């Protein structure tokens, strides 16, 4: 027993000496000591860090193209500096109002409905008692997530064909895919249908961590299913909801390019021309690289402002934030 106490005191003394050494050592020495101790972890994370740096940070070098006149001979940094010329050109574009309204309308509908329905689905699935039925429902609702966007748009065109489509026959001769008033609903409904099951997984994971004694206590107090959902399930997933809402606000102006571009036609173009499709047409098709870079940078800055604002509001209101 005496030997054990002596060993523990020596270990504590050595630890204090080591702590004092680290406090007195310089920053390069502490960094070197850190990598010497945890080099295995850095080796494991190195591929991910390289991937993020290569595809997320290195391309930021091209942002300066938004402030320069693109010169294919001189490259990204060799063009004439023009300041905010292309930003002003976009703001004074006759299509600016239409593009922004289309982007905001489609994005908000998709964001709000795509946020609400996974929560409802997760709460309903959690109430299913049979594991087999619950697994079957989860599988059925997950499957559309893995369908290609091209296939989804093809299905929409077939199902909504006037007169012959499964759904189109109920709308007479009007084509919903060509209607400027209906195309937004077609977009967000199909988007919610495709991803509602997949997006509910994280809420189901949060519900799985709820203490079963809470359900038992609620039932003993005479609570019904709706009361259990309201007073037990919903408070359990509320922090998760707040975090996901904040993250979704960072893409409030991001309408998926591939799907909306495939859904565009000459009839619905006034209601489906969004920032992503307009940037593609201006930059890739017309070759106005500086102009399209400025539009993309403007879109990113607006999303960043929304993200910071939503995080600050959530932190003050519910003490929940991502940073």
Of the candidates 312, 305, 300, the one whose C-alpha atom is nearest the C-alpha of residue 56 is: 300
pLDDT mean across residues, the chain: 86
Tell me: pLDDT of 20 over 60. no
Q: Using an 8 Å Cβ cutoff, are 61 and 269 in contact?
A: no
The residue to which tokens 């499957």 are assigned: 143
Tell me: pLDDT of 36 over 60. yes
C-alpha separations of 73 from 59, 76, 79 in Å: 19, 9, 9
Predicted confidence (pLDDT) per residue in 180-198, tens digit: 989 999 999 999 999 999 9
Predicted confidence (pLDDT) per residue in 64-119, tens digit: 889 998 888 887 777 888 999 999 999 999 999 999 999 999 999 999 999 999 99
pTM recorded for the entire structure? 0.81
Span 85-318: which CATH code?
Answer: 1.10.3720.10
Residues of CATH 1.10.3720.10 domain(s) within the chain? Answer: 85-318
In the chain the first and final C-alpha atoms are separated, in Å, by: 48
Predicted confidence (pLDDT) per residue in 120-169, tens digit: 999 999 888 888 999 899 999 999 999 999 999 999 999 998 888 888 88
pLDDT band at 323 (very low <50, low <70, confident <90, very high): confident
């Amino acid at each position: 027993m005496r030997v054990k106490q002596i060993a523990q005191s020596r270990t504590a003394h050595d630890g204090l000496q080591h702590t004092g050494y680290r406090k007195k050592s310089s920053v390069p020495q502490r960094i070197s000591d850190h990598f010497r101790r945890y080099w295995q972890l850095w080796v494991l994370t190195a591929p991910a860090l390289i991937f993020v740096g290569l595809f997320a940070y290195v391309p930021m070098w091209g942002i300066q193209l938004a402030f320069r006149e693109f010169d294919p001979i001189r490259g990204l940094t060799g063009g004439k500096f023009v300041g905010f010329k292309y930003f002003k050109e976009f703001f004074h574009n006759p299509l600016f109002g239409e593009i922004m309204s289309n982007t905001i309308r489609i994005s908000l509908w998709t964001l709000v409905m795509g946020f609400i329905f996974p929560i409802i689905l997760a709460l309903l699935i959690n109430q299913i008692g049979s594991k087999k039925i619950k697994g079957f429902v989860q599988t059925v609702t997950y499957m559309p997530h893995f369908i290609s966007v091209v296939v989804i748009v093809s299905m929409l065109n077939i199902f909504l064909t006037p007169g012959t489509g499964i759904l189109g026959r109920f709308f007479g001769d009007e084509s919903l895919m060509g209607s400027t008033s209906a195309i937004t609903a077609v977009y967000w409904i199909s988007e919610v249908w495709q991803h509602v099951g997949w997006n509910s997984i994280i809420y189901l994971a949060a519900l799985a961590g709820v203490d079963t004694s809470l359900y038992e206590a609620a039932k003993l107090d005479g609570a019904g299913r709706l009361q259990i959902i309201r007073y037990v399930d919903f408070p359990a997933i509320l922090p998760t909801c707040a975090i996901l809402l904040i993250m979704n606000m960072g893409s409030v102006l991001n309408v998926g390019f591939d799907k909306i571009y495939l859904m565009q036609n000459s009839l619905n173009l006034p209601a489906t021309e969004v920032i992503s499709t307009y940037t593609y047409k201006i930059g890739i098709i017309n070759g106005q690289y500086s102009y399209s870079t400025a539009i993309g940078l403007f879109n990113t800055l607006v999303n960043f402002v929304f993200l910071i604002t939503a995080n600050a509001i959530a932190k003050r209101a519910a003490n929940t934030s991502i940073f």
